[in-house]
């Protein structure tokens, strides 16, 4: 609304600003704005009129302001009013946009905006400067006039579109009790929609178009990289009616360490918040080839598979693999190809999209185990969003240190299953030696996601720790329930003969030991909490041949139990996760013995002793157990 006591000139200026300038903004960027009938755009109906208005408005504003200035102000006028070049008949609206900021700077702001419009503007500003990527591509459906816009330019564009398309009467009708925010959100969402591209980089000098290439104009429009960019813009606009897009090659200035840091930390969120993720499979012509595409081997594409709310897969010729499906990950045939390429089952994919915590940490690590990256630190950096943590970016620190910082952050989280990060193995044969060695102080933290290939697949129950788990220069400080064990033969006659010290007993499955101090490496089976332990301890001087089922003993440290002030909780029949330990000489502490695979076993209780899993701490010794706090 405009005040009736205003001078006609001011009313005219208000009207021009509210109606004309937004249209100029929208069209100058090549963004199509739907008309009410949905059949024509403002661009097709008003291009000629808008050009004439730009010229007329330029002349009118200069004349109007000059006539009202006093003589001394008139002398300063050339400095205050920028020179505006009126576009001629051949000038495009994109060129006309170059003078629009100058026009806006001399038109007074309207004194009043409807409340809902003000709310929409505030929310849109917050999204643009806090939620969307640093810069976006803006384009039209015919791929012409592709622009790379910074956040402030995106804000100018969106503000114009909001003002020109706001209908107070319609908005007021939509608002009912309690839904004002959703109405505003729905209104602005159409103007901040953007698509993301997931792809693998093209190697070679004629590869991708980078941010620096674009800014300097040093790119070849016939190059494979530019053709990929142009096709991405085309399918976004034509197939999905989205005219803003983000792709990492051109939208990140990698020469700015600050911007690179923000982009890497935010990338998962940007993929998640996008309206759609267009995934380009450069080696896929047919559906049954999809699982073998190189896209499934790269480190960064894991989060690009998991994060988006909606994904469409495109063949190498830029045709949709499944045109009828809204989200291709819900298509059974495509989900099976995804499993073949990533090992992620349709069930796991569905659970993760509902809540990442539904997938064990060790399993998420396993997804990344065999993926490759160009910069070694990206093995860790590419997993930040998948574990909902943030790390500072420090290229040059090395892959192992970066991964150690990632695991350290996971352990610091308050989530109950954070200790599942220790569910890994050292691998087999020649692989094991290198993968167990590590520069960091904890034997519970591996050197890379590769170790999680050998996680246990048993269904583990983890409990929140009674005290915070801390990582020091001595290792991981935590509570451990010690259960001694003796070696036994892996035979039905042996493993089903139980003679427990107390009420609890367990037998491990076959364990591949990697004892670098012992020549007896190989596959071994142990009985835990067995009376043979006491026999051996009471006959320390006896020859080992007299005790064929107890040739030597080890201690297993169980980590997944619940500790309270006076009791421990061990659910009957639960699967225990444990690490194999042997004592450090003359220290009273333990050292972890590496095993090829993670160790787990079911803990059982003698029949007729009740089904309660609560064990008083005072009775642990009776069962052969010991609760200690140690560094590992």
369 touches 450 (CB < 8 A): yes
Q: Which of 15-29, 313-327, 412-426, 596-610 has the highest mean pLDDT?
A: 313-327
> In this prediction, what percent of the chain has a pLDDT beyond 70?
71
Write down the pLDDT at residue 320.
Answer: 95
Higher pLDDT, 525 or 92: 525
Write down the pLDDT at residue 81.
Answer: 35
Among 191, 221, 239, where does a domain finish?
Answer: 191
CB within 8 A of 125, min separation 6: which ones?
155
Residues 92 and 119 in one domain: no
Residues 620 and 477 in one domain: yes
421 touches 411 (CB < 8 A): yes
Write down the pLDDT at residue 417.
Answer: 82
**Can you tell me the distance from the alpha carbon of 453 to that of 443, in angstroms, rounded to the nearest whole number?**
17
In the structure, what pLDDT confidence band is assigned to residue 39 with cuts at 50, 70 and 90? Answer: very low
Judge whether residue 289 has pLDDT over 90: yes
Domain range holding 48? 8-112
552 touches 538 (CB < 8 A): no
628 touches 602 (CB < 8 A): no
Q: Which helix (H) or strand (E) is 372 found in, with range?
A: none
In the structure, what pLDDT confidence band is assigned to residue 564 with cuts at 50, 70 and 90? Answer: confident
Residues 604 and 562 in one domain: yes
Judge whether residue 376 has pLDDT over 90: yes
259 touches 252 (CB < 8 A): yes
Write down the pLDDT at residue 507.
Answer: 85
Residue at 465 is within a domain: no
Can you tell me the mean pLDDT for 172-184? Answer: 82
Can you tell me the mean pLDDT for 467-472? Answer: 78
Residue 438 DSSP symbol? -
In the structure, what pLDDT confidence band is assigned to residue 435 with cuts at 50, 70 and 90? Answer: very low
Residue at 464 is within a domain: no
How distant, in Å, are the alpha carbons of 355, 382, 442 from that of 208?
34, 20, 41
Can you tell me the mean pLDDT for 486-506? Answer: 73
531 touches 513 (CB < 8 A): no
pLDDT tens across 209-220, in order? 999 999 998 888
Structure-block tokens of residue 308: 């988006």
Lowest average pLDDT, out of 166-175, 453-462, 481-490, 547-556, goes to 547-556
**Can you tell me the distance from the alpha carbon of 251 to that of 319, in angstroms, rounded to the nearest whole number?**
24
Write down the pLDDT at residue 106.
Answer: 46
Write down the pLDDT at residue 563.
Answer: 86
Write down the pLDDT at residue 461.
Answer: 87
pLDDT tens across 261-283, in order? 999 999 999 999 999 999 999 99
Residue at 246 is within a domain: yes
139 touches 236 (CB < 8 A): yes
Residue 213: exposed, middle, or buried by beta-carbon count in 10 A (0-12, 13-18, 19+)? middle
In the structure, what pLDDT confidence band is assigned to residue 76 with cuts at 50, 70 and 90? Answer: very low
In the structure, what pLDDT confidence band is assigned to residue 252 with cuts at 50, 70 and 90? Answer: very high
Judge whether residue 463 has pLDDT over 80: yes
549 touches 494 (CB < 8 A): yes
Can you tell me the mean pLDDT for 233-250? Answer: 94
Residues 527 and 574 in one domain: yes
Residues 583 and 478 in one domain: yes
Residues 186 and 199 in one domain: no
Write down the pLDDT at residue 589.
Answer: 73
Can you tell me the mean pLDDT for 568-596? Answer: 77
471 touches 411 (CB < 8 A): yes
Residues 168 and 202 in one domain: no
Residues 154 and 244 in one domain: no
Residue at 3 is within a domain: no
Can you tell me the mean pLDDT for 532-549? Answer: 48
Judge whether residue 43 has pLDDT over 90: no
Judge whether residue 284 has pLDDT over 80: yes
Judge whether residue 96 has pLDDT over 50: no
533 touches 505 (CB < 8 A): no
DSSP 276-339: EEEEE-TT-SSGGGGGGSGGGGBSTHHHHHHS-SSEEEE-TTS-BSSTT-SSGGGSHHHHHHHH
Q: Which helix (H) or strand (E) is 3 found in, with range?
A: none
Q: By C-alpha distance, which of 502, 506, 504, 508 is closest to 489?
A: 508
Residue keyed to tokens 């309690």: 178
Higher pLDDT, 574 or 99: 574
**Mutual orientation of helices 42-68 and 71-80 as an angle, nearest 10°?**
150
CB atoms within 10 A of CB 107: 16
Residue 195: exposed, middle, or buried by beta-carbon count in 10 A (0-12, 13-18, 19+)? buried
Judge whether residue 588 has pLDDT over 80: no
DSSP 552-569: -EEEEEE---EE-SSEEE
Lowest average pLDDT, out of 52-56, 82-86, 287-291, 408-412, goes to 82-86
In the structure, what pLDDT confidence band is assigned to residue 493 with cuts at 50, 70 and 90? Answer: low
Q: Which of 102-116, 293-307, 428-442, 452-466 has the highest mean pLDDT?
A: 293-307
Write down the pLDDT at residue 149.
Answer: 94
Residues 93 and 162 in one domain: no
Among 407, 427, 455, where does a domain finish?
Answer: 455
Lowest average pLDDT, out of 33-47, 281-295, 422-436, goes to 33-47
Using DSSP bridges, classify how beta strands 504-507 and 604-605 pair: parallel, antiparallel or unpaired: antiparallel
In the structure, what pLDDT confidence band is assigned to residue 112 with cuts at 50, 70 and 90? Answer: low
Write down the pLDDT at residue 74.
Answer: 43
Query: Per residue in 454-479, is it b (16+ CB within 10 Å) or e — as a string?
Result: bbbeeebebbebeeeeebeeebbbbb
Lowest average pLDDT, out of 32-46, 78-92, 204-218, 381-395, goes to 78-92
At 435, give phi and psi (nearest 5°): -85, -20
Structure-block tokens of residue 315: 């063949």
Residue at 36 is within a domain: yes
pLDDT tens across 507-537, in order? 887 777 665 555 455 677 888 888 887 655 5
Judge whether residue 68 has pLDDT over 80: no
Residue at 259 is within a domain: yes
Structure-block tokens of residue 507: 């037998």
Can you tell me the mean pLDDT for 391-409? Answer: 93
Q: By C-alpha distance, which of 224, 249, 245, 227 is closest to 236?
A: 245
427 touches 453 (CB < 8 A): yes
Structural domain count of the chain: 5
Can you tell me the mean pLDDT for 471-490? Answer: 84
Q: How far apart are the two ends of the chain, measured CA to CA in Å?
A: 71
Residues 623 and 502 in one domain: yes
CA dihedral 267, 273, 274, 277 (to 10 degrees): 70
**Can you tell me the distance from the alpha carbon of 267 to that of 349, in angstroms, rounded to the nearest whole number?**
19
> In this prediction, what percent of the chain has a pLDDT beyond 90?
40
Write down the pLDDT at residue 286.
Answer: 93
Residues 198 and 303 in one domain: yes
Using DSSP bridges, classify how beta strands 590-592 and 522-528 pair: parallel, antiparallel or unpaired: unpaired
Write down the pLDDT at residue 524.
Answer: 78
CA dihedral 23, 28, 31, 34 (to 10 degrees): 30
Residue 515: exposed, middle, or buried by beta-carbon count in 10 A (0-12, 13-18, 19+)? middle
Judge whether residue 60 has pLDDT over 80: no
**Can you tell me the distance from the alpha carbon of 547 to that of 539, in angstroms, rounded to the nearest whole number?**
10
**Residues composing the chain:** 632
Q: Which neighbouring-strand residues pair with 68? A: none
Among 112, 128, 147, where does a domain finish?
Answer: 112
Structure-block tokens of residue 369: 């185990």
Residues 247 and 332 in one domain: yes
In the structure, what pLDDT confidence band is assigned to residue 2 with cuts at 50, 70 and 90? Answer: very low
Residue at 460 is within a domain: no
**Can you tell me the distance from the alpha carbon of 81 to that of 513, in angstroms, rounded to the nearest whole number?**
81
The mean pLDDT value of the chain amounts to 78
Structure-block tokens of residue 34: 């739907």
Q: By C-alpha distance, which of 345, 262, 265, 248 is closest to 306?
A: 345
Judge whether residue 293 has pLDDT over 80: yes
Grouping H, G, I as helix, E, B as strand and the rest as coil, residue 581 is strand
Q: By C-alpha distance, which of 119, 151, 145 is closest to 132?
A: 151
């Amino acid at each position: 609304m405009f005040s009736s006591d205003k001078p006609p000139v001011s009313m005219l200026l208000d009207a021009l600003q509210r109606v004309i300038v937004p249209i100029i903004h929208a069209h100058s960027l090549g963004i199509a704005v739907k008309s009410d009938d949905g059949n024509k755009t403002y661009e097709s109906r008003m291009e000629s009129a808008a050009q004439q208005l730009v010229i007329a408005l330029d002349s009118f504003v200069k004349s109007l302001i000059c006539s009202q200035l006093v003589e001394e102000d008139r002398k300063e006028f050339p400095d205050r009013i920028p020179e505006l070049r009126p576009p001629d008949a051949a000038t495009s609206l994109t060129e006309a946009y170059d003078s629009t900021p100058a026009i806006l700077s001399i038109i007074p702001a309207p004194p009043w905006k409807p409340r809902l419009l003000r709310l929409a503007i505030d929310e849109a500003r917050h999204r643009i400067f806090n939620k969307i990527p640093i810069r976006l591509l803006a384009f039209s459906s015919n791929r012409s006039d592709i622009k790379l816009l910074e956040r402030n330019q995106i804000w100018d564009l969106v503000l114009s579109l909001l003002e020109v398309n706001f209908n107070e009467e319609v908005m007021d009708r939509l608002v009912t009790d309690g839904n004002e925010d959703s109405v505003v959100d729905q209104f602005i969402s159409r103007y901040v929609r953007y698509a993301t591209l997931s792809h693998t980089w093209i190697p070679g000098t004629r590869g991708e178009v980078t941010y620096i290439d674009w800014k300097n104009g040093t790119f070849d429009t016939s190059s494979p990289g530019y053709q990929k960019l142009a096709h991405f813009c085309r399918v976004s606009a034509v197939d999905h009616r989205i005219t803003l897009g983000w792709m990492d090659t051109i939208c990140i200035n990698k020469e700015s360490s600050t911007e690179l840091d923000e982009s890497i930390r935010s990338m998962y969120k940007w993929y998640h918040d996008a309206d759609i993720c267009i995934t380009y499979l450069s080696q896929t012509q047919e559906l049954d080839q999809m699982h073998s595409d190189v896209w499934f081997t790269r480190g960064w594409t894991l989060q690009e598979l998991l994060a988006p709310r909606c994904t469409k897969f495109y063949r190498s010729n830029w045709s949709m693999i499944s045109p009828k499906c809204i989200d291709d990950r819900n298509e059974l045939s495509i989900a099976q190809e995804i499993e073949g390429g990533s090992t992620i089952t349709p069930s796991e994919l569905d659970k993760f999209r509902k809540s990442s915590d539904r997938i064990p940490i060790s399993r998420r690590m396993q997804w990344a185990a065999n993926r490759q990256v160009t910069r070694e630190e990206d093995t860790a950096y590419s997993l930040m969003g998948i574990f909902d943590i943030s790390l500072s970016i420090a290229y040059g620190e090395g892959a192992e240190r970066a991964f150690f910082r990632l695991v350290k952050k996971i352990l610091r989280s308050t989530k109950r299953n954070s200790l599942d990060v220790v569910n890994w193995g050292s691998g087999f044969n020649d692989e094991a030696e290198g993968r167990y060695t590590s520069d960091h102080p904890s034997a519970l933290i591996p050197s890379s996601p590769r170790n999680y290939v050998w996680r246990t697949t048993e269904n583990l129950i983890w409990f929140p720790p009674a005290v915070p788990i801390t990582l020091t220069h001595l290792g991981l400080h935590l509570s451990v329930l010690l259960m001694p064990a003796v070696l036994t033969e892996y035979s039905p006659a042996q493993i089903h003969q139980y003679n427990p010290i107390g009420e609890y007993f367990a037998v491990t499955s076959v364990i591949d030991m990697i004892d670098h101090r012992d020549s007896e490496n190989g596959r071994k089976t142990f009985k835990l909490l067995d009376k043979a332990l006491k026999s051996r301890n009471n006959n320390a001087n006896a020859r080992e041949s007299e005790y064929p089922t107890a040739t030597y003993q080890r201690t297993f440290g169980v980590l997944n139990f619940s500790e309270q002030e006076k009791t421990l909780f061990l659910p009957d029949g639960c699967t225990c996760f444990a690490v194999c330990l042997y004592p450090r000489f003359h220290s009273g502490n333990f050292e972890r013995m590496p095993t090829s695979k993670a160790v787990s076993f079911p803990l059982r209780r003698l029949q007729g002793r009740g089904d309660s899993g609560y064990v008083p701490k005072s009775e642990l010794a009776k069962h052969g157990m010991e609760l200690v706090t140690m560094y590992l």
